[in-house]
Amino acid sequence: MVFRTIKQFYKILRMEFEEIYKTYWDRIFRLCMGFVNDYAIAQDLAQETFVIVWQKLDTFRNESSIGTWIFRIASNNCLRQIEKDKRFLKSDLPINLTEEKQQSLEPQIQFLYKCIAELPETERIIISLELEDIKQAEIAKIVGLSEANTRVKIHRIKEKLTQKFKENGPQ
């Protein structure tokens, strides 16, 4: 009896997870891609995010929206990547591994992601969330800033990007 209940609980959880996975994979991947601008690392970071989501799903209470919850996990995981990054740089891995995949992309898209990945870390997260159409109030809740502060930051980052596109952007 208990065993059946557990099994059922797991089944529901698994269905819920699959739903989340389908809905959020693309969005989380783009957030990670904006952070590192490297296809393989972004894929890794997105996978790690969903591993954490799966592990923590049963602790999720509807205090915040599921989106806010997942984006918090994803952006925190990106921040933690900074630590791995240090190790990564020291071991001489071939850098051109991931370059090929990106060549087919339109230069403008490539340039946008490159510009974002060059911003300070928290700005990368903020602008990525903004470009994902997340409400500014939600972004404030994910990052831990006030709404007013978030609005100002978004405005400034957009200005920076526009400037970069004007100066060096591909036509």
- Rule CB under 8 A: which residues touch another protein? 18, 21-22, 25-26, 29-30, 33-34, 43, 47-48, 50-52, 54-56, 59-60, 69, 72-73, 75-77, 79-80, 82-83, 86, 104-106, 108-109, 112-113, 120-123, 125, 128, 131-133, 141-145, 158, 161-162, 165-166, 169
Is the CB of 41 or the CB of 50 nearer to another protein?
Answer: 50
Coil, strand or helix at 61: coil
The residue whose two tokens read 């020291």 is 90
Please identify, using beta-carbon distances, which residue of 8 and 162 lies nearer to another protein.
Answer: 162
Do residues 66 and 20 make contact, with C-beta atoms less than 8 angstroms apart? yes
Closest separation in Å from C-beta 1 to another protein: 27
* Complex with another protein: residue 2 or 144, whichever CB lies closer: 144
Rounded Cα distance between 47 and 52, Å, is 9
Q: What is the closest distance, in whole angstroms, from the C-beta atom of residue 52 to another protein in the complex?
A: 5
Shortest separation between residue 21's beta carbon and another protein, angstroms: 6
In whole angstroms, how close is the CB of 84 to another protein at the nearest point? 11
Q: Residue count of the chain, please give it.
A: 171
Report the residue number, 2 or 12, with the smaller CB distance to another protein: 12
**Could you tell me the end-to-end alpha-carbon distance of the chain, in angstroms, rounded to an integer?**
65
7 Cβ neighbours under 8 A, 6+ residues apart: none
CA 122 to chain CA centroid, Å, is 12
Residue 14: alpha-carbon gap to chain centroid = 22
Tell me how crowded residue 71 is: count the other CB atoms within 10 A of its CB. Answer: 27
Distance in Å, CB of 5 to another protein, minimum: 22
Q: Residue 2 or 157: which CB sits closer to another protein? A: 157
Which single residue is written with the structure tokens 């071939």?
A: 94
